[in-house]
Amino acid sequence: MIAGLATYKLLRKYQKALDHLDLKSGLGHKPLVINVDSRDENRTRILVKSTGLGEDRYKSKLDDLRASVGQKIESVTYFNKDNRFVEISLAHKLLENKVNYADLIGNVKKPFSFVVGKSQNNVITENLEDVPHYLIAGSTGGGKSVAFKSLLLGLLETSKRIQLYIFDFKQVEMNEFSVLPNVQVIKDEHEASLLLEGVVKEMNKRYKMFEERKEKKISPDRDKLSRIIIGIDECSDLLGKVKKNDPKFESMERAKRCLNELSRKARASGIHLIFATQKVDVNSIDTQIQENLEGRLSLRMNTIENSVRVLQNSMSYYLPSIAGRAIWKKGASYTEVQCPFLSDDELNQRLDALKEKFYEEEVTMIKTEKEVVKDAEPDPWVSGEKVN
Ligand SMILES: Nc1ncnc2c1ncn2[C@@H]1O[C@H](COP(=O)(O)OP(=O)(O)O)[C@@H](O)[C@H]1O
Ligand SMILES: [Mg+2]
């Protein structure tokens, strides 16, 4: 009852504010507030039905709206063209809505680090030693790929002994990185499974070596070993469910098994997983793998349910619709951040500048070719003899 009354009061408050703007369509329709979400003291999101009122009409009145509600306007999103629903996010304190990679990366002090983003109070950075595995989630268009690329670039820029394997089956977005000798772009499920089996072997070899030396975990300079990063954009392509008769089934199963094992055991050996995905459910990532991804960046999610699956709360559903805006979860702490913006041009320039740094040393990457079998029997599948 009380909650209902509070909501009613809020609806009235924002309806009054909109009425003040004197907005009316040609047919006399006035904007109607149909929902108010107030997640915390800072932010309110209102959903307005405004049949027949175009974007520019609203834009011309935003200053008046700000004055009449006493809050700042964070974002205005127009959707559903016919019914003209408009979502307006209002807040008392605003975060910057664009921050550049170049202006933030200087804040990183330790090796194997990157910039998470700028919060209300400071620039948040993170490093692989403190948080070994990560998840970046968000609805399409929210800035997931940019966040993924800037994270990987940050790691490359701040570290010396590092190898990066980027899984990009669409082969469009991540090719830039392959100009570096210590980066390999993995292009299909088969290659992914071979690589991951190689990485599991490398993990076991490292643990054996640590045991002999009575060490507990990697120290790249002391051990003269690289940290190995497995970065998977749109990871549901590899980890999602697939039918048994799909030609990719076998490779995907093998890849999943390896990733599961790596997520549980690899951290102290200097092997790290970074996943980007649109949503988190059993169809996109195995629960056991999910549990081991402690650092979580959730860009805006389009349902409460999707936000809860990533963060255990609804915070990323209530984010304003600003590309690069996200909730960073580390352990039990949640911080709203604006992630660094990185253009493709800047990424390419920065990768070019890194070439020298990594060419200096010899880089031995993990192999993904199958061992060549001499005089093997012709493969009946390939020669088409086998008919089922
Ligand atoms: N941190 C950011 N700051 C400002 N704009 C951003 C940021 N990240 C992404 N964008 C903008 O949003 C667009 C979509 O980003 P992208 O990373 O491709 O989204 P997703 O992978 O989630 O679909 C980019 O082309 C860019 O213009
Ligand atoms: Mg993307």
Q: Is residue 134 in a domain?
A: yes
Ligand 1 contact, 98 CB (< 6 A): yes
Q: How far apart are CA 304 and CA 66, in angstroms?
A: 27
| 334 touches 327 (CB < 8 A) | yes
Same domain membership, residue 104 and residue 72: no
CA quadruple 303, 330, 157, 183: dihedral sign? negative
- Does residue 371 fall inside a structural domain? no
Instruction: Supply the pLDDT for residue 1.
Output: 42
212 and 324 in one domain?
yes
* Binding site membership of 248 for ligand 1 (Cβ less than 6 Å): no
Asked if 293 contacts 135 with a C-beta cutoff of 8 angstroms, the reply is yes
Residues 68 and 210 in one domain: no
Under a CB-based contact definition with an 8 Å cutoff, are residues 299 and 142 in contact? Answer: yes
* Domain harbouring 20, CATH code: 3.30.980.40
* Span from the CA of 322 to the centroid of ligand 1 (angstroms): 9
271 CA to centre of ligand 1 in angstroms? 28
Report how far ligand 1's centroid is from the alpha carbon of 124 (Å).
19
Crossing angle of helices 249-265/189-212, nearest 10°? 30
Picking from 58, 91, 124, the residue at the C-terminal end of a domain is: 91
Name the domain count of the chain.
Answer: 2
Query: Cα–Cα distance between 192 and 238 in angstroms, integer?
Result: 9
Is residue 376 situated within a structural domain? Answer: no
Q: Whose CA is nearest to atom 27 of ligand 1?
A: 323
CATH number of the domain where residue 147 is located: 3.40.50.300
What would the 3-class secondary structure string for 320-385 be?
CCCCCEEEEEECCEEEEEECEECCHHHHHHHHHHHHHHHHCCCCCCCCCCCCCCCCCCCCHHHHCC
Which residues make up the environment of ion ligand 2, defined by Cβ < 5 Å? 144-145
- Domain contains 16: yes
pLDDT one digit per residue (tens) for the chain, 388 residues: 456 788 888 899 999 999 998 888 888 889 999 999 887 788 999 999 988 887 788 888 888 999 988 999 999 888 766 667 889 999 999 999 999 999 999 999 899 999 999 999 899 999 999 999 999 999 999 999 999 999 999 999 999 999 999 999 887 889 999 999 999 999 999 999 999 999 999 999 999 999 999 999 999 999 999 999 999 998 888 888 889 999 999 999 999 999 999 999 999 999 999 999 998 887 778 888 889 999 999 999 999 999 999 999 999 999 999 999 999 999 999 999 999 999 999 999 999 999 988 875 567 889 886 544 444 455 445 444 444 4
For ligand 1, the distance from its centroid to the CA atom of residue 299, given in whole angstroms, is 10
**Which SS3 state, helix, strand or coil, does residue 246 take?**
coil
* Residue 242 CB coordination number (10 Å): 18
Mark whether 222 and 153 lie in a shared domain.
yes
* 129, 63: one domain: no
Which residue has the least CA distance to atom 9 on ligand 1?
143
* Ligand 1 touching residue 316 (CB < 6 A): no
Q: How far is the CA of 14 from the centre of ligand 2 (A)?
A: 35
Residues 136 and 224 in one domain: yes
The answer to whether residue 368 is domain-embedded is no
Q: Is 136 in the pocket of ligand 1 (CB under 6 A)?
A: no
- Number of neighbouring beta carbons within 10 Å of residue 220: 16
Substitution candidate for ligand 1 out of 97, 123, 140, 146 with most atoms within 8 A of CB = 146
Q: What pLDDT, on a 0 to 100 scale, did the predictor assign at position 80?
A: 66
> Do 59 and 116 sit in the same domain of this protein?
no
* Ligand in closest contact with the CA of 342: 1
CA of 236 to the centre of ligand 2 (A): 12
46 inside domain = yes
* Statement to judge: residues 216 and 153 lie in one domain: yes
Atom of ligand 1 minimally distant from the CA of 233: 21
- Domain check: are 219 and 352 in the same one? yes
Task: Clarify whether residues 244 and 206 are in a common domain.
Answer: yes
140 lines ligand 1 (CB under 6 A): yes
Residue for token pair 């940290």? 227
Judge if 135 and 66 occupy the same domain.
no
Q: Classify residue 374: in a domain, yes or no.
A: no
Do residues 242 and 137 both lie within one domain?
yes
Alpha-carbon gap, residue 7 to 44, rounded angstroms? 12
pLDDT in the model for residue 297: 98
| Ligand 1 closest atom vs CA 144 | 22
CA of 170 relative to ligand 2 center, distance in Å: 11
Query: Which pLDDT does position 14 carry in this prediction?
Result: 94
Note whether 296 and 286 are within 8 A (CB).
no
- 208 within a domain of the structure (yes/no): yes
Q: Which helix (H) or strand (E) holds 135?
A: strand 134-137
Q: Residue 343 belongs to what domain range? A: 99-359
Query: Which of 190, 150, 161, 356 has the alpha carbon at shortest distance from 271?
Result: 161
| pTM for this entry | 0.88
Give the integer Cα–Cα distance in Å for 334 and 321.
18
How far is residue 36's CA from residue 48's CA, in Å, rounded to a whole number? Answer: 9
